[in-house]
A and B are shown apart, each in its own frame.
Chain A
Amino acid sequence: MKVDAGEFAAALAPGAVLALAGLGLGAALAATLAPGEREALGAMLAPRATLLLLAWAVLAIALGALARRAYAIWVRQPARLAEAAQALLAAGDAMREQPLPAAAPCAAGARALADVADALARQRDALRADIGAKVQEAARGIEHERSRLAALMSELTQSVVVCNLDGRILLYNPRARLQFQALSPTAGAELVGLGRSIYAVFDRQLVAHALESVQQRLQRGAAQPSAQFVTSSRAGRLLRVQMAAVRDPSAAPGDAAQLSGFVLMLHDITREFEQDSERDRLLHALTEGSRSSLGSLQAAVDMLELPDLDAPARERFLRVVREEVRSMSARIQSLAASASESLKTRWPLEEMLGADLVQAAQRHIEARSQVRASASDVDPGLWLRVDSYALLQALASLAARLAEEFAVARVQLRLRREGERAHLDLVWSGTPISTETAMGWETDPMTVGDEASPLSVRDVVERHGGAFWFQRERARQESFFRFLLPPAQPQEQLEAAALLRSDSRPEYYDFDLFRTGAQARELGERRLVDLAYTVFDTETTGLDPAQGDEILQIGAARIVNGKVLRHECFEQLVDPGRSIPAAGISIHGITPAMVAGQPGIGQVLPAFHAFASDTVLVAHNAAFDMRFLQMKEAATGVRFEQPVLDTLLLSAAASPQQASHDLEAIAARLGIPVLGRHTGLGDALLTAEIFLRLIPLLAAQGIHTLDQAREAAQRTWYARLRY
Chain B
Amino acid sequence: MSRKPAPQANSAADGEGSPVNCKVLIADDEPNIVVSLEFLMKREGYDVSIARDGQQALDAIRRLRPDLVLLDDMMPLRSGLEVLQAVRADEAVAGTRILMLTAKGRETDIAKGLALGADAYVTKPFSTRELAERVRRMLSP
Contact = CB atoms under 8 A, between A and B. Distances in A.
Interface string B41-77: 0010000000000000000000000000000001000
Nearest to B122: A295
Contacts, number: 70
A376 interface: no
Contacts of B126: 295, 298-299
A313 interface: yes
Contact of A317 (B30, B36, B74, B125): B36
Contact of A296 (B30, B40, B104): B30
B10 A288 contact: no
Interface string A273-304: 00000000000000111011011111110110
A320 B35 contact: yes
Interface residues of A, number: 23
A418 interface: no
A578 to B, nearest CB: 58
Contact of A299 (B13, B33, B123): B33
A323 B43 CA distance: 24
Nearest to A294: B125
Given A292-B30, A308-B10, A300 B104 contact: no
B108 interface: no
Given A299-B40, A302-B129, A303-B128, A288 B105 contact: yes
A316 B40 CA distance: 13
A320 B103 contact: no
A300 B127 contact: no
B30 to A, nearest CB: 6
B124 A295 contact: yes
A298 B30 CA distance: 14
Contacts of A306: 9-10, 43
Interface in B85-130: 101, 103-105, 123-129
B103 A297 contact: no
A300 B125 contact: no
B9 A291 contact: no
Interface string A313-333: 100110010011000000000
Contacts of A296: 30, 32-33, 36, 124
A637 interface: no
B81 interface: no
Contacts of A295: 33, 101, 103, 124-126
Contacts of B104: 288, 291
B10 A291 contact: no
Contacts of A294: 124-125
Nearest to A289: B103
5 contacts: A295-B126, A297-B125, A299-B128, A306-B43, A323-B32
Given A292-B33, A302-B40, 5 more contacts: A291-B123, A298-B125, A299-B125, A308-B10, A308-B13
| Across the A-B interface, the 3 shortest Cβ-Cβ residue pairs | A295-B124, A299-B36, A291-B103
Interface of B: 9-10, 13, 30, 32-33, 35-37, 39-40, 43, 74, 101, 103-105, 123-129
